[in-house]
Amino acid sequence: MTISYNKLWKLLIDRKMSRADLRRAADISPNTLTRLSRDEEVSLSILKKICFCLQVNIGDICEFILEADDEKQS
C-alpha cells in the first residue's frame, strides 16, 4: 500500500496556493515538502499541521493506494 498526496496538490491549485505558501503557512521544512512531493511517508504530526492550516480533514489531502502485491497478500 502506498500513499498519495495528489489530493493535497489539487487542493492547493483550487486555492491558488503555491507549495512554498503551504510550507510557510504550515511551518514545515523544505525536506518535508520534498518528501510529500515524492509521495513518501511523513509523520502524522506534519499531516495534522497541514490539515489545521488548510482547515480540512486528513482524507482531503491524502489517500492510500492499494497495489497489486497488496491484493495477493490479502
> Tens digit of pLDDT for each residue in 12-68?
999 999 999 999 999 999 999 999 999 999 999 999 999 999 999 999 999 999 887
The pLDDT value given to residue 71: 58
pLDDT at 73: 62
Site of grid cell 497489486: 68
| Structural domain for 8, as ranges | 2-73
pTM here is 0.87
What secondary structure does DSSP assign to 5-57, as a single string?
Answer: -HHHHHHHHHTT--HHHHHHHHT--HHHHHHHHTT----HHHHHHHHHHHT--
Separation between Cα atoms, residue 29 and residue 46, nearest integer Å = 10
Tally of structural domains, the chain: 1
The per-residue pLDDT for 2 is 92
Q: What's the CA dihedral at 49, 23, 61, 71 to 10 degrees?
A: -100
In three-state secondary structure terms, 66 is coil
Residue 65: CATH number of its domain: 1.10.260.40
